[in-house]
Amino acid sequence: MEKTENSKSNNSRRRLSIVAVLVLVVAVICGGGLWWHRTAVQEHNRAFASYRAAAKTYKVQESEYHRYLASDEVEAVSTVTDDQVSDAKTVHALAKGVQVVKPAPGRTTGAKTNLTGDASTSELKTAADTLNAQTSKLKSKLKALKGDVLAVTTSQAQKLLSDAIGNGDKILVDSDGKVPDGDQTRNNLTKALESAKDVLNDKQSVLKVFSDAKADLDAKVKAVNDAVSAKAQADQDAARQRDERARSAQAQAGSARAPGAASSGLYPQSRWSGSMSGNFQNQPGAGRQGSTGNGGGSTSPQVPAVNPAPTTPQYTQEQIDGAHHYLCIMQPDITTGC
């Protein structure tokens, strides 16, 4: 009887142990499932956040790249030809750099930028990695494109400076003797040319150095041209004034030779002309009455015409100088004191 009771007691304890183990197993499984689910959700959230950040960065970088590609700076430099730069290779490199065109609407770029939280964690991670890689490529392309633009711009500035130096050398030669005495513009141009040539031959020169040297050289060339123009204008005005004086002197000389010049005041009156009749009356026979053979009428004797002796005209110094200047212009070979 006791054996039967002990057997039942042992069976009962065995069943309780089994149930306890089963409950523990279920509890562990449920706990593990909850932990795994929570961990998976957290990982998914992190993946989605990383994806959104990568997509945003990619869009910003893509926009910056294409905005610069379509900028006025790139457009202007893209029109530069081989003969406008000192190194044609820079133009060719830029042409290759600007061939990248933004995909047309409806075409995919290989970068998924519109995924939602419904996407799997692995898909989000893959998309984020792709976006980060393409963002890095866009940064590299933008940097290379800016470098190509700078290379063309610098090469163009170097060519412009070279051309400016050639023009400056010509202006320096052509302006010799054509600027006012004591003018310093040609000396300033000489110094600017020497400085510009040093910049042009310096391999370390950059865009701003080329541009500044050309601006300074252009200013010095303009100063010389202005000085040449000023002297030419002054010479022209002086020549016009000489011509006017010469014409005035010619007109005065012609007026002096014209009939009736004495009455006009160019020839002074003779001292004896006013008393010519009185002097004549003092001559023998003056005032005698003669008888005509026909009778008794008396007539006055005929007074012979007397031409007054010419006297030397009296000219002013201004008239003399004008006539002399006219002769210097018209007959320089035989006129003295010109």
For 266-280, the pLDDT digits (tens) are 444 444 344 444 443
Per-residue model confidence (pLDDT) at position 251: 83
Please, what is the Cα angle at 54 between 49 and 60, to 5 degrees?
Answer: 130
Per-residue model confidence (pLDDT) at position 293: 41
Cα within 13 Å of Cα(232), Cβ side: 9
The three-state secondary structure class of 109 is coil
Per-residue model confidence (pLDDT) at position 278: 42
Per-residue model confidence (pLDDT) at position 115: 85
Q: What is the separation of C-alpha 44 from the centre of its chain, rounded to a whole number of angstroms?
A: 60
Per-residue model confidence (pLDDT) at position 291: 39
Per-residue model confidence (pLDDT) at position 250: 84
Backbone angle region of 260, left / alpha / beta, with phi > 0 → left and psi within -120 to 50 → alpha: left
Q: Residue 47 has which token pair?
A: 């993946």
For 145-197, the pLDDT digits (tens) are 999 999 999 999 999 999 999 999 999 999 999 998 788 999 999 999 999 99
Ranges of the chain with pLDDT below 70: 1-11, 24, 31-37, 100-111, 256-315, 318-319, 322, 324-326, 329-338
Q: CA-CA distances (angstroms) from residue 184 to 51, 108, 181, 188, 198?
A: 69, 67, 9, 6, 22
Contacts of residue 279, Cβ cutoff 8 Å, sequence gap at least 6: 272
Per-residue model confidence (pLDDT) at position 253: 79
- pTM score over 0.85: no
Burial of 90: CB neighbours in 10 Å, binned 0-12, 13-18, 19+ = buried
Per-residue model confidence (pLDDT) at position 117: 79
